[in-house]
């Protein structure tokens, strides 16, 4: 049967092309580069296609807070990124191995898991993204393997290629950072400064000294281990050089909702001001 035997390679697939995008992203980061991406919350495939054709290194689909992201919408987003070099990463609703398996089998190439707030939870995330003997991902990469036409090639590279990024969102992780960052199989760490502020008793104030100190600690210890950091929020251009020096080498600089809201507001204000001048 197709699942066990595989079929002939489809056009444009195979011959070393499986999961080339996350492998290239990892290589860029290993070489000290900075990866630049954007958030996707609008489920229309056109939004993903626009971002992919813009040339971002990656996009993050926010299925944690973007409530309309079911598996069908994710499937359409992945197709919209075909033919681009943009890595599709999904922030899963939770660090749940069942949903992570479904996302990876669709062809998602990176997982950002929220609320990974202990060493054991970090290990569980890695296990969900890896096939045995390195993990517990179930075998069935239907779309990810080009509909079983390149199964052997996919399985040969999946464990090393899938981009795994836990998100630290609890202040209690800071004392265990050394053990957390030592978990084998993580490619980067994300921070959730807003939710971390809530766990530190300063909800709504990610600029509080407690949170800034925690973020600095994550950056410093991650840099020592050569692990790239993602702040978990968009980074203003005025702050980007400073954060890169601290080890933040994964940057999101835009979001579809943000661009739509700010662009619409700017156009309306400009028109109102122009008419007022008359």
Q: What is the DSSP string of 34-49?
A: -EEEEEE---SHHHHH
What's the rounded Cα separation, in Å, for the pair 35 and 33?
7
Full domain range(s) for residue 165: 2-271
Question: What is residue 277's predicted lDDT score, i.e. its pLDDT?
Answer: 87
Q: What is the CATH number of the domain that holds 235?
A: 3.20.20.60
Provide the 3-class DSSP secondary structure of residue 230: strand
Q: Indicate whether 176 belongs to any domain.
A: yes
Catalytically annotated residues: 65
Overall residue count recorded for the chain in this entry: 278
Question: What is residue 96's predicted lDDT score, i.e. its pLDDT?
Answer: 98
Q: Indicate whether 51 belongs to any domain.
A: yes
Query: Do residues 114 and 64 lie in contact, with contact meaning Cβ atoms separated by under 8 Å?
Result: yes
What's the rounded Cα separation, in Å, for the pair 154 and 15?
11
Question: What is residue 269's predicted lDDT score, i.e. its pLDDT?
Answer: 97
Q: Indicate whether 40 belongs to any domain.
A: yes
Comparing CA positions, the residue from 221, 220, 216, 139 lying closest to residue 183 is 221
Q: What is the total count of domains within the chain?
A: 1
What's the rounded Cα separation, in Å, for the pair 104 and 128?
10
Q: Indicate whether 100 belongs to any domain.
A: yes
Query: Do residues 169 and 195 lie in contact, with contact meaning Cβ atoms separated by under 8 Å?
Result: yes
Compute CA distances 68 → 62, 74, 95, 234, whole Å.
10, 10, 18, 21
Alpha helices, DSSP H only, in the chain?
Answer: 2-5, 20-30, 45-54, 71-80, 97-106, 119-128, 151-161, 177-181, 193-199, 209-225, 237-246, 256-277
Question: What is residue 11's predicted lDDT score, i.e. its pLDDT?
Answer: 38
What's the rounded Cα separation, in Å, for the pair 248 and 242?
9
What's the rounded Cα separation, in Å, for the pair 243 and 229?
9
Question: What is residue 115's predicted lDDT score, i.e. its pLDDT?
Answer: 98
Q: Indicate whether 276 belongs to any domain.
A: no
The residues, ordered by sequence, that sit 6+ positions from 113 with a Cβ below 8 Å of its Cβ are: 91, 92, 94, 95, 100, 125, 165, 166, 167
Q: Indicate whether 277 belongs to any domain.
A: no
pTM: 0.94
Provide the 3-class DSSP secondary structure of residue 16: coil
Q: Indicate whether 201 belongs to any domain.
A: yes
- Per residue in 56-90, pLDDT (tens digit) is 999 999 999 976 899 999 999 999 999 999 999 99
The residues, ordered by sequence, that sit 6+ positions from 49 with a Cβ below 8 Å of its Cβ are: 80, 81
Question: What is residue 13's predicted lDDT score, i.e. its pLDDT?
Answer: 57
Question: What is residue 7's predicted lDDT score, i.e. its pLDDT?
Answer: 40
Residues of the chain with pLDDT under 70: 1-15, 67, 278
């Amino acid at each position: 049967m197709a699942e066990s035997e595989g079929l002939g390679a489809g056009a444009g697939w195979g011959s070393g092309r499986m999961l080339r995008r996350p492998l290239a992203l990892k290589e860029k980061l290993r070489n000290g580069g900075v990866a630049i991406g954007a958030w996707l919350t609008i489920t229309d495939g056109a939004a993903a296609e626009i971002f992919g054709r813009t040339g971002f290194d990656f996009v993050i689909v926010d299925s944690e807070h973007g409530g309309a992201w079911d598996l069908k919408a994710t499937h359409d987003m992945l197709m919209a990124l075909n033919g681009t070099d943009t890595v599709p990463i999904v922030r899963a609703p939770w660090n749940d191995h069942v949903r992570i398996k479904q996302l990876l089998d669709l062809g998602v190439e990176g997982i950002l898991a929220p609320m990974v707030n202990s060493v054991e939870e970090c290990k569980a995330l890695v296990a969900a993204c890896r096939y045995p003997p390195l993990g517990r991902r179930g075998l069935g990469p239907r779309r990810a393997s080009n509909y079983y036409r390149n199964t052997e090639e996919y399985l040969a590279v999946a464990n090393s290629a899938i981009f795994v990024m836990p998100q630290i969102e609890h202040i209690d992780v800071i004392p265990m950072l050394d053990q957390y960052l030592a978990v084998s199989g993580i490619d980067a760490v994300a921070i959730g400064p807003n939710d971390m502020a809530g766990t530190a008793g300063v909800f709504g104030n990610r600029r509080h000294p407690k949170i800034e100190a925690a973020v600095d600690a994550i950056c410093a210890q991650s840099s020592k281990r050569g692990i790239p950091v993602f702040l978990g929020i968009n980074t203003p251009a005025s702050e980007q050089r400073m954060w890169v020096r601290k080890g933040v080498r994964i940057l999101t600089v835009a979001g579809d909702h943000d661009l739509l809201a700010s662009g619409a507001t700017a156009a309306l204000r400009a028109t109102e001001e122009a008419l007022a001048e008359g």
